[in-house]
Amino acid sequence: MSELAGSGLVERARAIAPLIAREADEIERTRRLTPGVVAALIENGLYQALLPRSFGGAEAAPEAFMQMLEEIAKADASTAWCLGQCSVCAMIAAWLDPGTAQEIFNTPPGILAWGAIAHEARAVEGGYRVTARWDFASGSRQASWLGAHVRIVGADGVPRKNADGSPEVRTILFPVAGATLHDVWQAIGLAGTGTDSYEVNDLFIPERFTAFRDVPTALRERGALYRIGTGSTFSLGFAAVSLGVARATLDAAIALARAKHQSLAASAMRDNGAVQGLIGRTEGDLRAARAYLYAAANAMWRDLSATGEFSAAHRNAVRLAATWTIHQSARVVDAAYHMAGATAVFRSNPFERRFRDMHAIAQQIQARDTHYEDVGKAILAATDREPQ
């Protein structure tokens, strides 16, 4: 295929970005994506970016998915974060019974959200029963379905094990009406994501609404995308969101420097050598981070498409690139914020929200410093070179 799978998503994201930018203040104020923004994302098929083609999705290549999120993040980080979260959640369709996947993703609005792995579900006749509460469900306020990743306990109360002795973990899916959502997301940034908690009480989950997420042998779809799995795709997506936030913040600083005169000098800010040097270095840092992330993603995708294998080496390469890109994006945002001086602290200017959003992104699991340790351990243990 000569055309990049999902490339049309990028143009559609770019087309609705002005609408999202206009709604950004309301998203921040209400801590929810506005109905107009959600409708635009649905109508343009963006939530289905990673849904298999067999269910009407785009099954987009990682590069197109990442570019889509970058464009949305330039307009509003919360919208991009929710879109990235729910898009990756839709990948679970590749592990589901086809009729079940159709019911979830092709009944409007067809949006799934989930939170962190936690708790247990007890096996019963025909399915599972669960009483639990989970956190960090970004996008849950737009979702029609929720999911959770739970350890399975047999009817006898004994935890079930996989063949290798590890705990059996399934992803369970249920309509949002079956859960109670708790409004807990009072955070420094990404305010509009509605990353709330959700709770169920003695909820029955039929067997067909469960899946072994990210287990290659359980896949029902043959597309290379699903060999990557949701964990690494989350990393690529959220790193792309950080690039979009950094790009928008640096662009705002450049626009300010072109127009602003320093208070104690007659010269324009753009004529200040220190400002010129800082912009040049920061621009180089951002371009380098973006080039590295996309190079790592494209190298992985090229090899995966040719061999059908998503190796541990590629997983480490993606993890390293995504973690470093998020950290580098945060440094770019910090530089732009400080460059703007007192202008940056006012809510009416395009700096302080992006500063808060970026630092909320940098606190997420995809940016943990321990990823460097994991990659370093793999490099030191390897006899062959890792993919570059």
Model confidence pLDDT, tens digit, residues 28-46: 999 999 999 999 999 999 9
Least confident of 60-74, 88-102, 138-152, 341-355: 341-355
Q: Distances in Å between the alpha carbon of 103 and those of 40, 137, 139? A: 22, 21, 19
Q: What is the CA radius of gyration of the chain?
A: 22
Whether residue 344 is predicted with pLDDT greater than 90 in this model: the reply is no
259-268, Cβ contacts within 8 angstroms, sequence gap of 24 or more: 260/343
Look-up of token digits 């509003």: 76
Under 8 Å between Cβ of 27 and 79: yes
Pick the closest to residue 193 from 249, 148, 135 (CA basis).
135
42-68: per-residue pLDDT in tens? 999 999 999 999 999 999 999 999 999
Q: Which residues contact 356 (CB under 8 A, 6 or more apart)?
A: 188, 189, 191
The distance in angstroms from the start CA to the end CA of the chain is 24
Q: For residue 370, what are the contacts with CB-CB under 8 A and spacing of at least 6?
A: none
E strands in the chain: 112-114, 120-124, 127-137, 145-153, 169-175, 180-182, 196-206, 210-211
- pLDDT category at 1 given cuts 50, 70, 90 is very low
Query: What mean pLDDT do residues 94-100 have?
Result: 97
Q: Which residue has the higher pLDDT, 260 or 379?
A: 379
b/e burial code for range 9-29 (CB count within 10 A of at least 16 → b): bbebbbebbebbbebbeebbe
